[in-house]
Amino acid sequence: MTTKEAAFQAEGPSAGVKLMAKLGNGAIAGVTGVSIIFPLDMVKTRLQNQKPVGGKMPYSGGIDCFRQILRGEGVRGLYRGLVPNLAGVTPEKAIKLAVNDIVRGVLAQRAGTSPERLPVMYGALAGATAGLCQVIATNPMEIVKIQMQVAATNPVAVGTGAAAMAGPSRVTAMGIVRDLGLRGLYKGTTATLLRDVPFSLLFFPLQALFAQNIQDRMYGEGKPATLCVLAGSTVAGVFAAAAVTPADVVKTRLQSSSQPSPPYRNMTDCARRILKSEGPMAFFKGTVPRCLTTAPLFGIALMMYDLQQKVLGW
C-alpha cells in the first residue's frame, strides 16, 4: 500500500466525493419512493383540483377517485406524469436529502454533538435550508406533473396551441414545457416555497427526533437502525404533510392551469377565492391522500438514503 492510499484510508474520501455520493444516494432514494407511491399522489392531485360540476363534486373521496381513474383511464392513468416527475424528483430529493445531511453535520460539529442528537432548532434550520435549495428543481417538475395528472379531467387547461388541441390522451411533458416556457415553469414559486420550506423545517427535526426515540426505546442508545429511520420518517411525514396542506392546495390550483388568462391573479387571490366560494375546509382537500402519499414517500426515501450511507460507512 502506498503512502497516498494509506492517507486516503485514514482520512476517508474528500468533501467533494462525499457530496457527490450524498447527491447520488438522495436521487436513488427519491426515485424509489416516488415510483412506489405515485398512484396515491395522482388521487391527491385530482381531489385537490376538483371543482363542482352541476352542483356536485366529481369525486366523493379518495377511494371513489381511485376507482374512477382506474375505470376510465386504466392502470396507465394512475401513472400519468410519472416520467417528468421522476426527472424532477431525482435532483429534488438529491438536493433536499444531501443539503439537510451536510448542514446537520456542520451544525452538529459547532454544537459539539452528533447529527442524530442535534437540537431541534438546529435541525429546523438545516431542514429549512434544504427546502429552500430544492425548490428550484421542484417547481418545474410540479407544474408538468400536475398538468399531466389533471389532463383527463380538464383538457382545455393543459397548455395552449397543439398540446391543448390534441386532447388529454396526447398531452406530453415536452408539449407542456414548450407551451409554458421558462417563466411559466416557475409559476406558483411563492406557493411552492410556502409549502416546501415549512415542510422541511418541520419534517427533518421531527424525523431525527422520532427515529432516535424509537431507537432508544427499542434497541438502546446508538445510531438509529434502518427500521427506526423508516418508522420515524413516516410518522414525521404525516405531521409535516398535514400542516402544509393549505399551501399545497393553493399551489395545485395555481399550477393546474396554463390558459392565456389564468383563473387566479396570484397566490393571495387564489386563497381568497377558494375561501369565499368553497369555505375554509377546502384548504384541507386531499389531506388524507397527501399524508398517505408524503409519509411513505419520505419514509422509503430516508430509509434508502440511510441504507446507502451505512453501506458507504458514513
Q: What gap in Å lies between CA 93 and CA 70, rounded to an integer? A: 29
Q: What gap in Å lies between CA 171 and CA 155, rounded to an integer? A: 9
Q: What gap in Å lies between CA 94 and CA 263, rounded to an integer? A: 34
Residue 4 reports pLDDT greater than 50: no
Chain segment 117-159, per-residue pLDDT in tens: 889 999 999 999 999 888 877 778 778 877 877 776 654 444 5
CA dihedral 160, 162, 166, 172 (to 10 degrees): -80
Q: What gap in Å lies between CA 160 and CA 166, rounded to an integer? A: 10
Phi/psi region, residue 12 (left: phi>0; alpha: psi -120 to 50; beta: rest), is: left
> What DSSP line would sit under 213-255, residue for residue?
HHHHHHT-SSSPPHHHHHHHHHHHHHHHHHHTHHHHHHHHHHH
Chain segment 171-199, per-residue pLDDT in tens: 777 888 888 887 888 877 888 888 889 99
pTM (predicted TM-score): 0.71
Q: What angle do CA 107, 139, 27 make, to 5 degrees?
A: 55
Predicted local confidence at residue 8, as pLDDT: 42
